[in-house]
Amino acid sequence: MNASPHWAERTFPFLGWPRLWRQHGVRGDLVAGVTVALVLVPQALAYAQLAGLPPHLGLYAALLPALVGALFGSCGALSTGPVALTSLLSGASLLSLAQPDTAEFIALAVVLALLSGLIQLVLGLLRAGWLLNLLSRPVMAGFINASALLIGLSQLPALLGLSLPRAEHFLVGLWHLFAGTDPFHLPSALYGGLTLFALVALRRLVPRLPGVLLVVASATAVSALTGFAGQGGAVVGAVPSGLPSFGLPVIDWNMLVTLFPTAFVIALVSFMEAASSATVITARTGMPWNQNQELIGQGLAKLAAAASGAMPVSASFSRSALNHASGARTGLSSLVTAAAVLLSLQYLTPLLWHLPIAVLAAVILLVVANLVDFHALTGAWKAGRDDGLAAVVTFCSTLVFAPDIQNGILTGLMLSLALMLYRDMQPRVALLGMHPDGTYRDLKRFGLEHPHPNLVIMRFDSPLTFVTARAFEEAVMSAAQAQPEVECVLVSAGGINAIDASGQHAIAVVHERLRLNGQVLAFCGLKKQAIDALERTGLWARLSEHGQYRTEHHALDALLPRLSRPSG
């Protein structure tokens, strides 16, 4: 009787909201929804600019996607909508295909939202969320830091009232801009600089106030009163009011093929951001979250963004943290936020005409400053050379490939997988001797001796698969020559937790080679799953006599009396 509601809540998470309302009430959700809306509305306009799209599309991305993400996601406190990193990825990846702020560019952004949403939805339905773990933390750290740096640099021209020329490489275009003789627009620079100063001051002095909303509203009012647009200043301009028109652009196969790699990267990166937020929030609340269900929720949110004619969305780390800190426990808070966005679209769009673009650039700069964390790169170096290399290569390649920054994270992904494979091909192998504490340990590290002149113990700390099969063969044959008169090689196999066909072939080969040399291959500590694999192929029948010892002590008690030279 209880299984059906439980299944229903897992499939449709919003069915569990009433139970949480009875425990915590709804006041926290209502307050959090309004609080997040005060931040989201100006951020949505800024992130649309970051993606190279008309500002009102940011509001569209904050409406229906927020509703869908809240209804079908497993963590109620996540705030879904436009975010800096996904917006940058979307805009940068399309620069080589179309001119920003054009109908073609918008259509491509919508298809990108559709593709990335379908990828996440399919992964979630197939319970394949584990695939997203392919992006290691060092790779993400390198990518996020480089992206934050690029975001900041990309907003400098708008902050100063300049126009960034299109170039094959972003950094080259930026260099040409600032190396040129074009003067910056003084009123724009004043708006941008003063906005940035005011945002930082409000955050430090009165962090509880909605600083972004207050500063943006004040700057818009001053812009209208002083005639900023008439002085040549760039402003948001006309923002259509009302609901978006729902539908999808015309899609052709070549467009899908071209955008698929970028859509896959967006699906990975955006979900990593959502997963990080969900992990932090649920650790504080003690409430569980489901990775695959969240994939479904985020995928459906992207599909809702595509249907709204907007760019890809994700769960914002900063807004989700604010949502949780303000008392959100269920997706009701996101519904309240979406209602506030709807009211803004219905009644406040005429007020946005005079909003300076430089002000939005300052808002973006303040947000991305929180993404910069070079300590993560140094921490990766301290953790290991391979991690550090993956982080640094990802960081550098993201900068070099810009605006095609998806190539940067793909480079880091391939490098980290290659390094992992290389590490796995060099498993830890050690010859063992009796330690004074009564255990068998690495004889080289502890200066020990072999347990017997005719016997060698070799520990193999790795799954025995096609990746390590060759290393196993070489290690066993090397161990067989570690002493002049070795009659038995005992493999301490506690670290072998899996054996595939290549691994079994390697065992059969060394078993036969040792037999022809008059030597014995023995195992101790083999785990059940390893023995089961050997039994299925019949190899266990040849190994079982000397393969089922549980410990080194057990093996030596049975093997030493058989050796030609007695111990001691």
Closest CA to 406 of 305, 267, 501: 267
Residue 292 lies in a domain: yes
Shared domain for 80 and 32, answered yes or no, is: yes
Contact 308, 338 (CB under 8 A): no
Q: Token pair 């001051």 is at which residue?
A: 201
Q: Are residues 412 and 450 in the same domain?
A: no
- 453 and 370 in a single domain? The answer is no
Same domain, yes or no, for 408 and 448? no
Based on the fold, state whether residues 182 and 301 are members of the same structural domain. yes
Given a contact cutoff of 8 angstroms between Cβ atoms, the answer to whether 491 and 547 are in contact is no
Residues 239 and 383 in one domain: yes
Domain match, 194 and 302 both: yes
pLDDT of residue 5: 43
End-to-end CA distance of the chain: 69
Domain boundary among the residues 416, 444, 469 is at: 416
Domain end residue (candidates: 416, 439, 454) = 416
Question: Which residues form the domain of 228?
Answer: 25-416
Question: CA-CA distances (angstroms) from residue 311 to 149, 151, 187, 427?
Answer: 22, 17, 31, 45
Looking at the structure, tell me whether residues 108 and 235 fall in a common domain: yes
Does some domain include residue 82?
yes
Q: pLDDT value at position 339?
A: 95
pLDDT along the chain (568 residues), means of 10: 55 85 88 90 90 92 95 91 90 86 92 96 89 82 87 84 67 70 80 91 87 89 91 86 83 89 90 85 82 94 96 91 88 94 90 90 84 86 90 92 83 91 91 93 94 95 95 96 95 95 96 95 95 95 93 94 68
398 and 443 in a common domain: no
Cα separation of 501 and 92, whole Å?
45
Place of tokens 């994939």: 295
Domain ends where: 393, 416, 439?
A: 416
Instruction: Check whether residue 528 and residue 394 sit in a common domain.
Output: no
Q: pLDDT value at position 108?
A: 94
Q: Are residues 207 and 120 in the same domain?
A: yes
Among 524, 528, 534, which Cα is nearest to 490's?
Answer: 524
Which residue, 191, 171, 187, 188, is CA-closest to 179? 171
Cβ contact 309:41 at 8 Å: no
Are residues 394 and 371 part of one domain? yes
pTM: 0.79
